[in-house]
Amino acid sequence: MATQFSPNQIAPVRYHDQREKLAEYFDGTARKAWIDLTSNAKVSGIRATVRAGRDEMRGQLLSWLPEDLRRRDVLDAGCGTGSLSVEAACRGAVVTAIDVAQGLVNIAAERAPSYLGHGRINWRVGDMLDSSLGTFDHIVAMDSLIHYTLPDMVWALSALMQRCSGSILFTFAPYTPLLGAMHTVGKVFPRSNRSPAIVPIAEDELRAALAQFGDWEVVRSGRVSSGFYKSHAMELVKR
């Protein structure tokens, strides 16, 4: 029997644990590397492919949002150093940009242009599922759910559904035999300085889990593969 996900379910303990690990990692050993990756700084060949992949994915997600976002509220759930937030704000959106890592949000706020036209960005540090953030027309979670298991990911999406009236755009790491093997080896041979594991998710299992939310449907779907960067995006739209 398929696992059922209730939007009123108490947050799984492992969701909170993983969120804390992410905050520690991105505010610690990964901070400098992440700042370089999301800038124009010279990086290694592998990281260059990741940068290119992230740029392509961000462009895909932005293309799924309305070109005119004036008078629209957008949540950038896991904003990192803020590139997507800035582009959405430049289209006129009021963006709430939140991330668990204080250091990344500080960099995002420093990099953001002082003039954003009709748009604006409210930078926040904390949990993207915090209900006090309010409600939104559109929510984007680019590569911010990829460290969670399928049940936790779908639970998180169900929580976001309660605060969204339009569309939710999110990404997951698509399961392949190679990624599955890497994930297994990572669990068997953990390292203290290893980044929190990316959890490969089978697309058909994810679609089946999302099908239970009758008020929402998957409308668009697209994959980006660039070297070591492999990510799959879905657009959930409220019926």
Q: What is the CATH number of the domain that holds 21?
A: 3.40.50.150
Per the structure, how many domains does the chain have? 1
Q: What are the phi and psi torsion angles at 44 (to 5°)?
A: -65, 165
Q: What are the phi and psi torsion angles at 198 (to 5°)?
A: -85, 130
* Predicted local distance difference test score (pLDDT) of residue 45: 85
Asked if residue 191 belongs to a domain, the reply is yes
* Residues of the domain holding 51: 13-238
Q: What are the phi and psi torsion angles at 108 (to 5°)?
A: -60, -45
- The residue behind tokens 């929402």 is 216
Asked if residue 3 belongs to a domain, the reply is no
Asked if residue 1 belongs to a domain, the reply is no
Q: Helices 203-210 and 150-161 sit at what angle, rounded to 10 degrees?
A: 40
Asked if residue 134 belongs to a domain, the reply is yes
Tokens encoding 138: 């559109």
pTM: 0.87
* Predicted local distance difference test score (pLDDT) of residue 9: 52
Angle made by CA atoms 47, 185, 16, in degrees to the nearest 5: 80
Alpha-carbon gap, residue 72 to 70, rounded angstroms: 5
* Predicted local distance difference test score (pLDDT) of residue 13: 64
Asked if residue 2 belongs to a domain, the reply is no
Asked if residue 8 belongs to a domain, the reply is no
Helix (H, G, I), strand (E, B) or coil at 85: helix
What is the per-residue pLDDT across 53-68, written as a single tens digit (0 to 9) for each? 999 999 999 999 999 9
Other CB atoms within 10 Å distance of the CB of residue 42: 8
Residues of the chain with pLDDT under 50: 1-8, 182-193
Alpha-carbon gap, residue 128 to 99, rounded angstroms: 7
Asked if residue 81 belongs to a domain, the reply is yes
Helix (H, G, I), strand (E, B) or coil at 49: helix
Asked if residue 52 belongs to a domain, the reply is yes
